[in-house]
Amino acid sequence: MARPTPELIDALRRTARNLKNGAPYQWGHMGGCNCGNLAQELTKLSKDQIHQYAMQRYGDWNEQVDDYCSTSQMSIDIVINEMLNAGLMLEDIKHLEKLDDRQVLVRFPLEKRFLKHNVRDDVVVYMNEWANLLEEQLLAKITLPNFQALERAEFEAV
């Protein structure tokens, strides 16, 4: 599962909002599909640029991830590297394209877990729920100081 970073959480929510508001969506287009739309947010590249980079090598996002090389200077590998730097793992990219990460799906009621990977509305709810999950994980890592104990200690020291 992805590292919960503010950048990734925000990008997931922006992508979902853009899709909900009518951003171009075409599952068979490497720059306009589930991963392509998120890649646009994370890299600030256009859908056409992402698609062009992906077409320099064969395959869909799953195959691109399988062939990913962190030291390559291929354009699509640079795009994937930026996605990974935002907190994604390679498996997350594959799961996003198919909307099939179990940790995300289990958060939906049973009757709502059967999302279609190429339906815009399903992509929107999946991304929003994934962002919620990552935000919960991020917040769980934050511990605030016990201010009451600090105040007591300061008072007793006086």
Other CB atoms within 10 A of residue 16 CB: 23
What token pair was written down for 35? Answer: 């991963």
Report the pLDDT value the prediction gives residue 114, as an integer from 0 to 100: 93
Could you tell me the pTM of the whole model?
0.86
Q: How far apart are CA 26 and CA 36, in angstroms?
A: 9
SS3 label, residue 5: coil
Report the pLDDT value the prediction gives residue 147, as an integer from 0 to 100: 67
Q: What is the pLDDT along the chain (158 residues), one digit of tens a residue?
A: 889 999 999 999 999 999 999 999 998 899 999 999 999 999 999 999 999 999 998 889 999 999 999 998 899 999 999 999 999 999 999 999 999 999 999 999 998 999 999 999 999 999 999 999 999 999 988 887 776 766 666 667 66
Please say whether the beta carbons of 117 and 99 come within 8 A.
yes
